[in-house]
Structure 1
Amino acid sequence: MGTLADTVRGFWRRAVQTARLVIGVPDYDTYVAHMRLRHPERPVMSYAQFFDERMRARYRAGGGRCC
């Protein structure tokens, strides 16, 4: 079983990740960990590529809805 400090660190990491998702900031570290674990044969995008791709997906012309 982990220490109180480990528990607090884990909670803090999840809280930060949730806040980023709420305000629309993509989580590059989670993406990299996922790619390395689940798709090791695929290349990992740089942060700039990842951020650009996430913003294009989020603000896709004609793909989103208004209101």
Structure 2
Amino acid sequence: MIKVNGENLNINNIKLSDFLKKGGFDENRVAVELNGTIIKRGSYGDYILIEGDKVEIVCFVGGG
């Protein structure tokens, strides 16, 4: 189980990039923190989400 934005999800062993795609997130419009560390946009595919991970995803929106 991992925690995403405060919600427990029963998933493990998935690349962060794949998780974002499945969740409908645009990798170019989000910031991701994994276990307290900001992950650089181009390296989402380098991280595998495992049991106990805590992920925070912030979406950027335009407006005026």
TM range (shorter): under 0.3
Q: Please give the TM-score of this superposition, normalised by the length of structure 2.
A: 0.23
The structure with the larger Rg is 1
Q: Please give the TM-score of this superposition, normalised by the length of structure 1.
A: 0.23
Query: Which structure ranks higher in relative contact order (CA pairs < 8 Å, sequence separation ≥ 6)?
Result: 2
Structure with greater proportional helix content = 1
